Amino acid sequence: MSPSKVPAGGARGYIIPIGGGEQKEHNPVILDRFVQLCGGRDARLMVIPTASKLEDTGARYQRLFSDLGAAEVHVLDFDTRRDAYEPGRLAQIADCDGIFLTGGNQLRLSTLIGGTDVARMLRERNAHGAHIAGTSAGASFLSEHMIAFGEDNVTPHAGSVTLAPGLGLTNRVVIDQHFTQRNRLGRLITALAFNPFLIGLGLDEDTAAFIGPDQTVEVEGSGTLTVVDAEHLKFSSMDQAGANDPVSMLGLTMHVLIRGNTFNLHSREASAGTLAVGKS
Amino acid sequence: MSPSKVPAGGARGYIIPIGGGEQKEHNPVILDRFVQLCGGRDARLMVIPTASKLEDTGARYQRLFSDLGAAEVHVLDFDTRRDAYEPGRLAQIADCDGIFLTGGNQLRLSTLIGGTDVARMLRERNAHGAHIAGTSAGASFLSEHMIAFGEDNVTPHAGSVTLAPGLGLTNRVVIDQHFTQRNRLGRLITALAFNPFLIGLGLDEDTAAFIGPDQTVEVEGSGTLTVVDAEHLKFSSMDQAGANDPVSMLGLTMHVLIRGNTFNLHSREASAGTLAVGKS
């Protein structure tokens, strides 16, 4: 699939992967910014807790977003693929300013929602201006190429990561989460080694990438976003490596971004953004 | 201090940091290559186990190098700084083709040997062609700027790493070891953020960087060498960050090298090296 087309004169909504573990009660800057982006006191939000197996995940985010001032917050879960074709549920999504996908297991999202009317509607809604955020597993699922599962604490090698089709809001990036906390550089680089056209986004916990309609990513939260860009890759040993052989990647560009820094997915330029104020 | 001058017509010996945990009994490719480089059956080697607090560290490497065919292997330890001025010990080093610094704590090496006649002699011997290897703590100690200690599993921040003067065989690199295994990207990037003129070498376990007299680094062993090069750094927030604030670094170049790949410290070019045989 490809991202849905933006109608003439319109603007795509933000795509907002979050690295998991975002602040919820004390200083919830990421969740608050999402609510404000969606309209603040006018925001109509939908929480999709399908990745999670915990009973109260949806209700918890519903309460958090309500406390942050959203006008309406609903929870919509999917237990079967049939649920994801049900007109009543689709109608609820059609009406939202923002959709939030919780953490859990991204394979639950892809196996239950992938290829259904709900997946199509989420892409359409985003193309028509609705903002779609996801945390942890919900973040991984947002892009066309999704890290389905993989290994932590490893040197890059072919067996370290398994990709699967995701929701497809964007096809420029592959997203990993809990990035520094779980030492996932090796598997993110491996994902890029398969096909270097992708840009790797490694999100720390309590850190979000606000990907705007102009393809500019702005970082929010207390950690870093590590961008790995293989555009100028000079050599990779991926084609000659066995599943457990370490893989070389020569000529990567890396940016470690903090709150306020930006990266443009189209020009592939990193910028200090608001941190550069007052700097020459 | 600076690296000792190479005499006219001479060639500097190799500098060989190893990431710790090198194979010893089964397939010890790194230790074997060190022995061969030093002359194989003619090699006279010195093991300096000063970083280690274990009684048998020196004897173990003595046996390993003897088993690999070295002509002579001696062990020389330093318990006090006075030992490091003792003429009898200096004479033993003057005669060696290769010196091997074991793992342990790099601050034991810098506090016991730093600034002594032994340190001067090691730099001189290297300038006159002796090869000097170090594993783990011994690897960190080799360069001018040494990671004295730091934190694992962290996002780059000023408090994550403490630099100290090392042995000073080279002043182009800062070396970290157990790199992937202990998730040390954050602290290596922090070390570069202090002053981006350095090139960061992150060595995995059972992986060595053979730094030749022409400044070409060649990788040996089963893991990866991660080179982080800040030459084209565009922005860093280090000057405005508190000790615990995450630090941004925009515009880093990164290479993940495996056995056979090379990186030239002077031209800052990575190359596939022997892996490129048969490739266009």
Q: Which of A153, A237, A254 sits opposite B254 (nearest CB)?
A: A254
**Partner-chain contact B156 A256, CB within 8 Å:** yes
Nearest-Cα residue of chain B relative to residue A255: B250
How does DSSP assign B75-142, residue by residue?
E---SSTGGGG-HHHHHHHHT-SEEEE-SS-HHHHHHHHTTSHHHHHHHHHHHTT-EEEEETHHHHHT
Query: What architecture does CATH give domain A15-265?
Result: 3-Layer(aba) Sandwich (3.40)
What is residue A279's predicted lDDT score, i.e. its pLDDT? 44
Residue B145 has phi, psi (to 5 degrees) of -110, 115
Tell me which residue of A200, A202, A208 sits closest to A231, measured CA to CA.
A200
Measure B153 CA to nearest chain A CA, in Å.
Answer: 6
User: Quick count: other Cβ atoms within 10 Å of Cβ B1?
Assistant: 15
**Partner-chain contact B235 A186, CB within 8 Å:** no
pLDDT values of chain B reduced to their tens digit, one per residue, 280 residues: 678 899 998 999 999 999 999 999 999 999 999 999 999 999 999 999 999 999 999 999 999 999 999 999 999 999 999 999 999 999 999 989 999 999 999 999 999 999 999 999 999 999 999 999 999 999 999 999 999 999 999 999 999 999 999 999 999 999 999 999 999 999 999 999 999 999 999 999 999 999 999 999 999 999 999 999 999 999 999 999 999 999 999 999 999 999 999 999 999 999 999 876 544 3
Distance CA B45, CA B32 (A): 13
Three-class DSSP category at B175: strand
> With an 8 Å Cβ cutoff, is A238 touching chain B?
no
How would you write chain A as a 3-class SS string?
Answer: CCCCCCCCCCCCCCEEEECCCCCCCCCCHHHHHHHHHCCHHHCEEEEECCCCCCCCHHHHHHHHHHHCCCCEEEECCCCCCHHHHCHHHHHHHHCCCEEEECCCCHHHHHHHHCCCHHHHHHHHHHHCCCEEEEECHHHHHCECEEEEEECCCCCCEHHHEEEEECCCCECCEEEECCCCCCCCHHHHHHHHHHCCCCEEEEECCCEEEEECCCCEEEEEECCCEEEEECCCCCEECHHHCCCCCECCEEEEEEEEECCCCEEECCCCCEECHHHHCCCC
> With an 8 Å Cβ cutoff, is A246 touching chain B?
yes
Report how far apart the first and last C-alpha atoms of chain A are (Å, whole number).
44
> With an 8 Å Cβ cutoff, is B237 touching chain A?
yes
Q: Which residues of B are catalytic?
A: 136, 178, 205
| C-alpha to C-alpha distances, A228 to B140, B163, B224, nearest whole angstrom | 26, 27, 17
What is residue A3's predicted lDDT score, i.e. its pLDDT? 85
Q: Which of B155, B270, B275 sits opposite A251 (nearest CB)?
A: B270
Q: Which residues of A are catalytic?
A: 136, 178, 205
Three-class DSSP category at B209: strand
> With an 8 Å Cβ cutoff, is B267 touching chain A?
no
Per-chain mean pLDDT for chain A: 95
Q: Which CATH number fits domain B15-262: 1.10.3720.10, 3.30.365.10, 3.40.50.880, 3.40.50.300?
A: 3.40.50.880
Instruction: Give the pTM.
Output: 0.94
Tell me which residue of A143, A195, A150, A196 sits closest to A165, measured CA to CA.
A143
Q: Which of A250, A255, A258 sits opposite B251 (nearest CB)?
A: A255
> With an 8 Å Cβ cutoff, is A272 touching chain B?
yes
pLDDT per position as a tens digit, A82-115: 999 999 999 999 989 999 999 999 999 999 999 9
Nearest-Cα residue of chain A relative to residue B273: A235
Three-class DSSP category at B67: helix
| C-alpha to C-alpha distances, A1 to A4, A105, A153, A170, nearest whole angstrom | 9, 21, 32, 10
- Report, as ranges of residue numbers, the positions in chain A whose pLDDT lies below 70: 1, 276-280
Which uninterrupted H or E stretch holds B218? strand B216-221
Measure A63 CA to nearest chain B CA, in Å.
Answer: 30
**Partner-chain contact A156 B248, CB within 8 Å:** no
Distance CA A73, CA A99 (A): 10
User: Quick count: other Cβ atoms within 10 Å of Cβ B2?
Assistant: 9
Per-domain residue ranges for chain B? 15-262
> With an 8 Å Cβ cutoff, is A112 touching chain B?
no
Q: Under 8 Å CB-to-CB from A260, ≥6 apart: which residues?
A: A218, A219, A272, A273, A274, A275
Measure B125 CA to nearest chain A CA, in Å.
Answer: 33
> With an 8 Å Cβ cutoff, is B257 touching chain A?
yes
User: What ipTM was assigned to the predicted interfaces of this complex?
Assistant: 0.91
